[in-house]
Each structure stands twice: as structure tokens, then as C-alpha cells.
Amino acid sequence: MGSGGGGSLAGARGGGSLVAAGAVSASPNDRAGSAHERDRVQKKTFTKWVNKHLIKAQRHINDLYEDLRDGHNLISLLEVLSGDTLVSVTVTAPSPPPPRRDPPPLPASPPSPAWLSVLSIPLSSPSIPVPRHRDPPAISIPRPPAPPPRL
């Protein structure tokens, strides 16, 4: 026998793939399409699996990526799978603000002389130095030389 079609038939009998003689492998577009199809089938299969478990928590998702994005359905799925409560959410009304309190009343008698002596320190007292403002030193920036006169 020649090397015509016998090799491809032997490959088919030997458990290999059935490829016609002279056939070329799939083009990159065909491979990209099959990868896209495989991803679509996996997403659909996983969505069905998630819904099978989420039904126990009275939840359902339509789009795997969008419906698990906020985390609520994902937490419910984890709770169903683990059998534990992971997050307990209690919704309560906001508490009212505390009652407004008036400032304490001023004392009826005038302050004591010790209190007055603390308040009556003059600013020009020699014991308290008053910082004086000084001008910063002048900085001279040399000017660039004048351009030569035009003729």
C-alpha cells in the first residue's frame, strides 16, 4: 500500500482522531469561536449548579457575573454549601439623636480673686516675652547682561 489514504484510516482504527487526508488544523478564528463556545457552556452549567443550591435559600441568579458581583448571592451560596450562617444582617431604624442639653448655668457669685489674677495678666508684662517681627534679609538677584545693540 502507498502513503495515500492508508495512514489516516489506520489512525482512525488506532483510536486517533478521524482526519481526512490533507486536512488542515482549525484556523485561529475557529479556535477562538470554540473557546468562546466552551466558556459560554461552562458559564451556563455553573449558573445551573449555583441555582440548584441557591434554591435552598430562596434565591435565584440569571447572570453568573452580574448576580454574584455584589456578594449577597455569593454569601448565600457559601452559607448553603457550608451549613453555617456567615453573616447576620439586622435592619433597625436609626436611633433618635440624644436629647439636647443646655449649657450649665453661670455661677451666681463673681469669680474668686485668684481667678481674676490669672485673667488680668497684661500683654506688656516683662515676664512674658513678646516675639517681635523681623523682616527677612533682602536677597539680591543679579540681572542678566543686556543684549548687544542691533545694527
Residues 63 and 145: their CA atoms lie apart, in Å, by 74
Structural domain contains residue 92: no
Q: The domain containing residue 73 runs over which residues?
A: 31-87
Structural domain contains residue 101: no
Helix crossing, 72-82 with 28-54: angle to 10°?
70
Q: State the pLDDT at residue 2.
A: 45
Residue 83 sits in a domain of what CATH number? Answer: 1.10.418.10
Structural domain contains residue 13: no
> Please, what's the b/e burial string for 70-87 (b: 16 or more CB within 10 A of its CB; e: otherwise)?
eeebebbbebbeeeeeee
Enter the C-alpha cell of residue 104: 450649665
Structural domain contains residue 79: yes
Q: State the pLDDT at residue 14.
A: 46
Q: State the pLDDT at residue 50.
A: 92
Per-10-residue mean pLDDT for the chain, 151 residues long?
A: 45 46 60 84 93 92 89 90 80 79 73 56 56 68 80 73
Enter the C-alpha cell of residue 43: 458559564
Structural domain contains residue 80: yes
Angle, CA 39 vertex, CA 20 and CA 83 arms, to 5°: 135
Counted domains in the chain? 1
Residues 51 and 33: their CA atoms lie apart, in Å, by 27
Q: State the pLDDT at residue 98.
A: 81
Structural domain contains residue 72: yes
Structural domain contains residue 146: no
Q: State the pLDDT at residue 38.
A: 92
Structural domain contains residue 138: no
Give the number of other CB atoms < 10 A from CB of residue 105.
Answer: 6
Q: State the pLDDT at residue 48.
A: 94
Residues 35 and 114: their CA atoms lie apart, in Å, by 89
